[in-house]
A = this chain, B = another copy of it.
Amino acid sequence: MATRSPLAPDTFPDLPEIAGLRLASAAAGVRYQGRTDVMLALLDPGTTVAGVFTRSATRSSNVRDCEAKIGGDSAGGAAIIVNSGNSNAFTGKAGDGSVTRICAAVAEAAGVTEARVFTSSTGVIGERLPDERITAVVGDLVANAVPGALEDAAGAIMTTDTFPKGSARVVEVDGQEVRIAGIAKGSGMIAPDMATMLVYIFTDAKIARPLLQEMLSELSDRTFNCITVDGDTSTSDTLLLAATGQSVEITERGGAFEAALGEVMLDLAHQVVRDGEGATKFVEVAVTGAATDADARKVASAIANSPLVKTAVAGEDPNWGRIVMAVGKSDAEADRDRLTIRFGDIEVAREGWVSPDYTEDAGAGYMKQQELVIGVDLGLGDGAATMWTCDLTHAYIQINADYRS
């Protein structure tokens, strides 16, 4: 495994147990040796599940199967099984068969219907998934499933990740405690197009599925859809949110629960960027003053995905000209003479040129920080968007020119 990202949190957070959720992990030897690579989440009857998935035209059999099942009823129990090492994407009809066999095995062992078993696979594309190695451990997984155990689960789903990712919030709703805990994996092939990477979030709140889906979809547009590592979109991106219904019922949008859920999602999204392949800098790109929010997003995306901006950040070069370039290519309405660019609190450029008080030394000093904010105000309207990305370094090339060997 690669060295832990310099941007990683110091420790894995304490995640609360979620009533109605049990977890187990196992080393099935799908591809990796000497580590866990399968995790199973068992959810008690009454759990509602919402999901957001990659829109890739070549998405995996697992994603297609989840999509078909996600609207199903929530009477019985449910299960989520995830393997790392092999994505089961672009494996044709054989891949569909793998999903069917895994779901059947989990349904039988866990006593749930196949329609309530959700699967994800992550790892190399285009190689047959040895599903028999997964089904062989399903019995043990069900037998060993316990409350808590989210950290182990976060470890089992890692691929090129250098640290397991978790986040939680506990909020009070109607005088009662509601818990939210989630895990994620992802560090490359990350782009802001629908649910990015694999994310599983659990809560003991009771929420009807339509409301749960509405919250999840809207919040993912402001969290997971606002991060990018390399602009590449996975064939397997999956975000599942399961509400076990064992605590208080949530019936409306906009309350403390939704705010806390949004925080968990943003925290996990940021952790994915912090584990961006080869990343040494965490960069927030904050765009304001655009003609529309959509334009602001175009500008933020153009900056956050620009190899020239990202290599400049890697080199600690305050090369704001490349930000001008990215604004220009974004296809958003822009006026050179109304543009303001900031590094953190340092005004770098305004009115079409470098700011009179800006010094290269100030810019260079700022770029040495590990956490950077690139601010762009287009001076045209109220449109705003924020995206998060990392720098583009030699290590990214190293990891990706050599991933399979």
Please list the residues of chain A having a beta carbon within 8 angstroms of any beta carbon in chain B.
Answer: 54, 56-59, 87, 89-95, 124-127, 188-189, 191, 193, 230-235, 305-308, 311-312, 314-315, 317, 319-322, 324-337, 339, 349, 351-354, 392-394, 396-398, 400-405
Taken together as a complex, chains A and B put the C-alpha atoms of A323 and B95 apart, in Å, by 18
The 6 A-B residue pairs whose C-beta atoms are closest, nearest first, are A125-B321, A315-B401, A58-B328, A56-B328, A92-B353, A92-B352
The verdict on A232 contacting B306 (CB below 8 Å), with A58-B325, A401-B312, A402-B317 known, is yes
Among B87, B90, B308, B319, the residue within 8 A (CB) of A232 is B308
The verdict on A307 contacting B400 (CB below 8 Å), with A232-B326, A325-B232 known, is yes
Chain B residues whose C-beta falls within 8 Å of the C-beta of A230 in the assembled complex: 307-308
Taken together as a complex, chains A and B put the C-alpha atoms of A392 and B136 apart, in Å, by 41
Known: A125-B325, A230-B307. 19 other contacts (CB 8 A): A56-B329, A57-B328, A57-B332, A57-B335, A57-B336, A58-B339, A59-B328, A87-B321, A89-B325, A90-B321, A92-B351, A232-B325, A232-B326, A307-B400, A312-B400, A315-B400, A315-B405, A317-B404, A396-B397
Rounded to whole Å, the gap between the CB of A311 and the closest CB of chain B is: 4
18 A–B contacts, CB within 8 A, in A order: A56-B325, A57-B327, A58-B324, A58-B328, A59-B328, A89-B321, A90-B352, A93-B353, A125-B321, A188-B308, A231-B305, A235-B325, A307-B392, A307-B400, A315-B400, A315-B401, A393-B397, A394-B397
Count of chain copies? 2
Rounded to whole Å, the gap between the CB of A211 and the closest CB of chain B is: 30
Q: What is the interface of chain A mostly: helix, strand, loop, or mixed? A: loop
Taken together as a complex, chains A and B put the C-alpha atoms of A333 and B55 apart, in Å, by 12
Rounded to whole Å, the gap between the CB of A283 and the closest CB of chain B is: 14
The verdict on A311 contacting B90 (CB below 8 Å), with A58-B324, A405-B317 known, is no
Taken together as a complex, chains A and B put the C-alpha atoms of A382 and B204 apart, in Å, by 53
* CB atoms of A311 and B92 under 8 A apart: no
Give the nearest-CB partner of A308 in chain B: B232
Rounded to whole Å, the gap between the CB of A195 and the closest CB of chain B is: 14
Chain B residues whose C-beta falls within 8 Å of the C-beta of A89 in the assembled complex: 321, 324-325
Taken together as a complex, chains A and B put the C-alpha atoms of A95 and B398 apart, in Å, by 41
Among B306, B322, B393, the residue within 8 A (CB) of A125 is B322
Give the nearest-CB partner of A318 in chain B: B404
Among B126, B189, B339, B401, the residue within 8 A (CB) of A353 is B126
Give the nearest-CB partner of A317 in chain B: B404
Rounded to whole Å, the gap between the CB of A318 and the closest CB of chain B is: 9
Give the nearest-CB partner of A230 in chain B: B307
Taken together as a complex, chains A and B put the C-alpha atoms of A26 and B320 apart, in Å, by 29
